[in-house]
Structures are given as structure tokens and as C-alpha cells.
Amino acid sequence: MRKNLLNFEYDELIEFFKKLGLEKFRADQVLDWVYKKRVFNFEDMTNLSKEHRKILNEKFYIGIPKLLDMQISKIDRTTKFLWELQDGNTIESVALFHSGRVTACISTQVGCPVKCSFCATGQSGFVRNLKSGEIVGQILGIEINRKVKVGNVVYMGMGEPLLNFDETLKSIRMLNHKKILNISKRRITISTVGIPEKIIELAEKDVGVRLALSLHAATNSKRDEIIPLNRKYSVDELIYAIRKYQEITGDRITIEYILIREFNDYPEDAERLAESLKGINVFVNLIPVNPVNPNFYRPSRWAMERFKQILERHGIESEIRVEKGTDIDAACGQLRRRNLK
């Protein structure tokens, strides 16, 4: 059975090439064709002999996901991708365009087992974890379809990255490796709904990426309502985990907080959040809820500003996220769910 070349880390590929009787520099040549020149057909790799290309065709394929749908915002160029994987499953990615850089939001699972009530992905169920090559392949797919170079990566697409821990970390090593995508670890962020033991393990392994915690409520009673996983991992456990993470790494942590009108946007919610985060170096990203769940409404601008001001009075830096792709299905899971119908 042929193997997906994108699943191989650098050292793994060299070792596999040795078993095939191919020298180390042949691996370098192939990686240069794939990751630098964006050539995905072995027959077009002209500095390899016909015999080498024959061996590669017999042993490997290059698993770039198939583009099924692409939506481009007329407002800010935000681009939503729906990909088909080798087994027919579908996943999403998003490209965000900022001044001078492009950020890719990528998926780590087909569907999601967490089932947050404000997220379209969880409503479509969980199928399986992605392999590292399927994660990395999203970056290549974005770059070739939008003719851009991705400089920042956020693990904030479909799925919970810390529930696919090993493949997520492997994909990070690949993104960072100079022979592969050469993206700085400081430009990579893992966004998690919160798996406490994995947050601590991430710190202990000295992965070196940034961490964002999707908290969305400061009390268990409210968080239970919107994030079922909170019944297993309480708010107190999550706060303990990010404190430990910061003790080990010294890094500032981003707190993602989706604001839902007349649910978690009251002044007392802001006060509780500030109290929970006391003594932790954090940045709070305030996000008006996307229109996925018909029971959830966005707060007024005034209510969001009030929430922000309360946090800042407690010395917590925060901002109300500038929304992108509002004219397309940019929220996670929306495009896939529509295509599954």
C-alpha cells in the first residue's frame, strides 16, 4: 500500500528512503519539490532519475486534499475551504488576510467530539482524527489555491487538537522544520477548549507554540450549558492547568471568550472572569457569537464594550475581535454542514 509522503517528518523520510536504497539528498530533493516548488507529481521532479521516480510512484502518493468548495469574502478576502480527504471525509480550513501576512486556521479532526452548542462542527458529530499529513496538507492546499504564502497557523478549525495530541504535535514539528514549511513556532497557536492534563504536557514537552484557551464562561453552571466537556474538566481545573502552563513556559496565554447576549455578557460575568484570571498573564479575545445556534444572539456593541472595560479595570488586556468573512460561511463547520445535507 502506498504511503502519504506528507505524513513523514524529515528524519522519518530519510530513514524510509534508506530502506529503499535512496540517498539522504534524494529526500531533500523531493521535499524541495513538494514544499518549495509545489510540485506534487513525481514524474515532474526532473532532477530524479526515471528509476527513482518509478520507486517513488510505487511507494508514495502526495496527499493534497481535494478542493470541493471555496468561498471568498468580498469584504476582506477571507477564504473558506471545504476539502475532501482520501477516504471521502470532508474537513474545512480558513485563510485570513492581514496586512503583510496570511493566517491559516486548520482542522485536526473530521467533525468534533466536544459538541459545543455554539459551534456547527460539533453538531455534525465526530468521525476520526486526522493524520499529520492531512493537517499539513491543508496549508499546501491553501497556498496553491490562493497563491499565497502562509506565515501564521492557528489550530482552530474543526476538532479539538489536544484530543489528537500526537498527530497535532507531529504536524507542528513538520510546519516548523526548515526543510518542510519553515514556519516559526512563535507563529503557531494551538486553540483548545481545555484538556487540563494535555495543556500541562504541552508545556512540559516544551513545544514552543502559543496557547489559546476557549473558556467562554467563568462558572461551571454556565460553561456546562454550552460546552458539555466542562462536566468532565471544570473551570477550576482549566485555570489550574493554564497557571501551570505559564509557570513552566513563561508565555502569555490568550483566553477566547464568545459573548452571547443575556447569557454570559453581564457585568458579573466579566467580574467573575477577571477574578478567575487573577495573577495570570493573559490576553482576552472577546468574540460576538456566530449565528449557528438560533437560540444565541450577539450582544450589542455597548454591552461588549462594557465587558471589555470591566476586564481592563482589573488590569486584563482585551479586545473585541474584528470579524472577518461575515459575508461567507466563515464560522467553523458551517460550510461542511451545508454540504452534508
Looking at the fold, whether 186 and 327 belong to one and the same domain comes out as yes
Looking at the fold, whether 48 and 177 belong to one and the same domain comes out as no
Cell of 329: 460561511
- 211 vs 189: CA distance, rounded Å: 6
Mean pLDDT of all residues in 106-113? 96
Out of 92, 134, 160, 256, the active site residue is: 92
Looking at the fold, whether 111 and 200 belong to one and the same domain comes out as yes
Looking at the fold, whether 194 and 49 belong to one and the same domain comes out as no
Is the pLDDT at 337 greater than 60? The verdict is no
Identify whether 92 is a catalytic site residue. Answer: yes
Question: Which residues have a Cβ under 8 Å from the Cβ of 172 and sit 6 or more positions away?
Answer: 185, 188, 190, 207, 209
pLDDT classification of 335: cutoffs 50, 70, 90: low
Q: Which residues, in sequence order, are bridge partners of residue 286?
A: 257, 320
Query: Which pLDDT belongs to residue 118?
Result: 84
Looking at the fold, whether 107 and 245 belong to one and the same domain comes out as yes
Per cent of the chain over pLDDT 90 is 87
The distance of Cα 21 from the centroid of its chain, to the nearest Å, equals 37
Looking at the fold, whether 30 and 104 belong to one and the same domain comes out as no
Looking at the fold, whether 96 and 197 belong to one and the same domain comes out as yes
Looking at the fold, whether 244 and 315 belong to one and the same domain comes out as yes
Query: Which pLDDT belongs to residue 293?
Result: 80
Looking at the fold, whether 234 and 254 belong to one and the same domain comes out as yes
Positive or negative: CA dihedral 165, 184, 246, 203: positive
Q: Nearest Cα to 231, choosing from 219, 218, 216, 220?
A: 220
- 201 vs 196: CA distance, rounded Å: 9
Q: Nearest Cα to 292, choosing from 176, 118, 157, 131?
A: 118
Looking at the fold, whether 71 and 218 belong to one and the same domain comes out as yes
CATH number of the domain residue 106 falls in: 3.20.20.70
Looking at the fold, whether 45 and 175 belong to one and the same domain comes out as no
Is the pLDDT at 341 greater than 60? The verdict is no
Measure Cα distances from 321 to 204, 255, 258 in Å. 30, 12, 10
* pLDDT tens-place string over residues 224-267: 999 999 999 999 999 999 999 999 999 999 999 999 999 999 99
Identify whether 332 is a catalytic site residue. Answer: yes
Give the single-character DSSP code of 74: T
* pLDDT tens-place string over residues 129-177: 999 999 999 999 999 999 999 999 999 999 999 999 999 999 999 999 9
CATH number of the domain residue 43 falls in: 1.10.150.530
Contact present, 290 and 331 (Cβ < 8 Å): yes
Total Cβ atoms within 10 A of residue 15: 13
Is the pLDDT at 56 greater than 80? The verdict is yes
Q: Could you list the residue range(s) of the whole structural domain that residue 71 is in? A: 66-340
Looking at the fold, whether 11 and 70 belong to one and the same domain comes out as no
Out of 105, 112, 119, 332, the active site residue is: 332
- 111 vs 107: CA distance, rounded Å: 9
Helices (H), the chain: 10-19, 24-31, 50-59, 120-123, 132-146, 165-176, 196-204, 220-226, 235-249, 267-276, 301-313, 334-340
Measure Cα distances from 87 to 34, 65, 125, 163, 273 in Å. 22, 10, 17, 21, 43
Q: How many structural domains comprise the chain? A: 2
